[in-house]
């Protein structure tokens, strides 16, 4: 019997040593890349530490870590990261990289992890003068837990790339766009605080597809989110509030976008405004609360009406936007009417050689199943 008990005890010990301790693994815990290379130190008092970040980057190899101490900041540098490294600051409040009128960081290599920095670039914007705090020109990068400030054109500018992850940053400044995505795909913008882009948008997505904007707080910008010429955008769980004009502005063609479970509230003009052609967009289970002029509005120009008349027949020629289950300020037992305007130019349309007279007219979309109470949408950050 004793031998049996001892055997059971030994087996339990073996199982305990072999099996990992279980736990929840979230986005944050997987966002920091593990480096298998050497660590190069910048600043501080260590023997052999670098005084400039760029010098350490130049000497690093793929897989290395460049760790930057805060006691030697601010670092007045314009960094070019052309290797797949981890670039880590000691503290995002105090480890300062000042671009001095030029970009603080440009990423040209794939697979770079940047975290723990106070990145800023203050340069008065003049017409035609485009400046940035960070430029991403490569794929599979993680920008995590940074403070990004300035009065440049863009805070983070992502151009012609794919699979970048912008997570848990604070982006605060008089930007034309806090985060700007152009001609880039599969970008994730997750759990950031973006504010005070008073001359532009918190997030702009242009000519891009398969991008996700999830769990962000976007406040005190001209518009919270603006996207145009996009396909398969996914906008979920964001708090979009107290922006000057629109919570979400769809300016131009959008296709297969899903806007779900966002809190779109107290924006100065419209909660969500569609201006232009849209196809198969879905606006589902959002809270529209306290937007000053209208909760939602759309204007679709003549080009859309021509397209629908030619390919879908004359009736109905409603814009193809699907609204369902949204909360509209209060309990509503009937369908909620989303006002809009179609054919604003007042032209005569043609269908297969026949004249069809269509003048500017008010039109509506419907949310046929409005929610009876607001959704509990976590703040996300």
Q: Give the side-chain half-sphere CA count within 13 A for 119.
A: 32
Whole-angstrom CA distances from 371 to 41, 123, 339 are 55, 46, 18
Contact 230, 254 (CB under 8 A): yes
Position 251 confidence tier, pLDDT thresholds 50, 70, 90: confident
Backbone angles phi, psi at 39, to 5 degrees: -115, 125
Position 36 confidence tier, pLDDT thresholds 50, 70, 90: low
Task: State percent of the chain over pLDDT 90.
Answer: 66
Query: Which residues are CB-neighbours of 290 under 8 A, at least 6 positions away?
Result: 265, 266, 329
- Residue 163 backbone class (left: φ over 0; alpha: ψ -120 to 50; beta: rest): left
143, burial (CB in 10 Å: exposed 0-12, middle 13-18, buried 19+): buried
Contact 184, 161 (CB under 8 A): yes
Structure tokens at 212: 């996700």
Smallest CA-to-CA distance from 89 within 115, 71, 107 is with 115
Please state the domain extents for the chain: 74-82+93-367
Rounded CA separation 45/61 (Å): 23
Smallest CA-to-CA distance from 280 within 296, 294, 302, 259 is with 259
Mean pLDDT value across the chain = 83
- Residue 243 backbone class (left: φ over 0; alpha: ψ -120 to 50; beta: rest): beta
Mean pLDDT of 240-254: 93
Structure tokens at 333: 């037992």
Dihedral angle sign, alpha carbons of residues 186, 190, 192, 194: positive
Structure tokens at 14: 């073996």
Which residues on neighbouring strands pair with residue 212, listed in sequence order? 188, 234
Position 254 confidence tier, pLDDT thresholds 50, 70, 90: confident
Q: Is the pLDDT of residue 80 over 60?
A: yes
Contact 295, 286 (CB under 8 A): no
Element housing 240 (H / E): strand 239-241
Quick: pLDDT tens for 299-351.
876 554 444 444 444 444 455 789 999 999 999 989 999 998 775 454 444 44
How would you write 111-148 as a 3-class SS string? Answer: CCEEECCEEEECCCCCCCCCCEEEEECCCCCEEECCEE
Position 210 confidence tier, pLDDT thresholds 50, 70, 90: very high
Q: Give the model's pLDDT for residue 126.
A: 52
Contact 85, 65 (CB under 8 A): yes
Query: Which residues are CB-neighbours of 188 under 8 A, at least 6 positions away?
Result: 164, 165, 166, 167, 211, 212, 214
Smallest CA-to-CA distance from 329 within 297, 365, 292, 356 is with 292
Q: Is the pLDDT of residue 355 over 80?
A: no
Task: Please count the other Cβ atoms lying within 10 Å of the Cβ belonging to residue 74.
Answer: 14
Q: Is the pLDDT of residue 29 over 60?
A: no
């Amino acid at each position: 019997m004793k031998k049996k008990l001892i055997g059971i005890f030994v087996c339990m010990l073996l199982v305990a040593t072999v099996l990992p301790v279980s736990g929840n693994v979230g986005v944050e815990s997987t966002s920091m890349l593990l480096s298998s290379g050497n660590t190069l130190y910048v600043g501080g008092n260590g023997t052999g530490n670098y005084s400039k970040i760029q010098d350490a980057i130049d000497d690093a190899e793929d897989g290395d870590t460049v760790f930057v101490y805060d006691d030697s900041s601010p670092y007045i540098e314009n960094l070019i990261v052309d290797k797949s490294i981890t670039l880590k600051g000691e503290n995002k409040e105090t480890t300062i990289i000042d671009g001095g009128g030029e970009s603080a960081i440009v990423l040209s290599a794939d697979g770079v992890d940047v975290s723990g920095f106070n990145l800023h670039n203050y340069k008065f914007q003049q017409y035609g003068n485009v400046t940035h705090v960070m430029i991403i020109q490569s794929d599979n990068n993680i920008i995590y837990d940074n403070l990004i400030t300035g009065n440049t054109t863009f805070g983070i500018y992502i151009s012609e790339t794919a699979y970048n992850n912008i997570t848990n940053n604070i982006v605060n400044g008089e930007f034309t766009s806090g985060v700007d995505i152009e001609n880039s795909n599969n970008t994730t913008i997750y759990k950031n605080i973006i504010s005070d882009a008073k001359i532009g948008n918190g997030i702009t997505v242009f000519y891009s597809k398969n991008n996700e904007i999830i769990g962000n707080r976007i406040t005190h910008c001209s518009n919270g989110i603006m996207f145009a010429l996009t396909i398969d955008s996914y906008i979920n769980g964001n708090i979009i509030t107290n922006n000057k004009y629109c919570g979400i502005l769809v300016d131009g063609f959008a296709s297969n976008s899903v806007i779900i479970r966002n809190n779109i509230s107290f924006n100065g003009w419209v909660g969500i405004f569609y201006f232009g052609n849209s196809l198969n967009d879905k606006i589902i289970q959002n809270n529209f609360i306290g937007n000053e002029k209208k909760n939602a509005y759309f204007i679709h120009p003549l080009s859309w009406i021509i397209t629908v008349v030619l390919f879908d027949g004359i009736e109905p020629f409603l814009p193809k936007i699907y609204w369902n289950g949204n909360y509209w300020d209060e309990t509503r037992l009937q369908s909620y009417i989303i006002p809009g305007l179609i054919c604003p130019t007042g032209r005569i349309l043609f269908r297969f050689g026949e004249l069809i007279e269509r003048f500017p007219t008010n039109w509506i979309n419907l949310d046929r199943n409005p929610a009876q109470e607001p959704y509990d949408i976590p703040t996300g950050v």
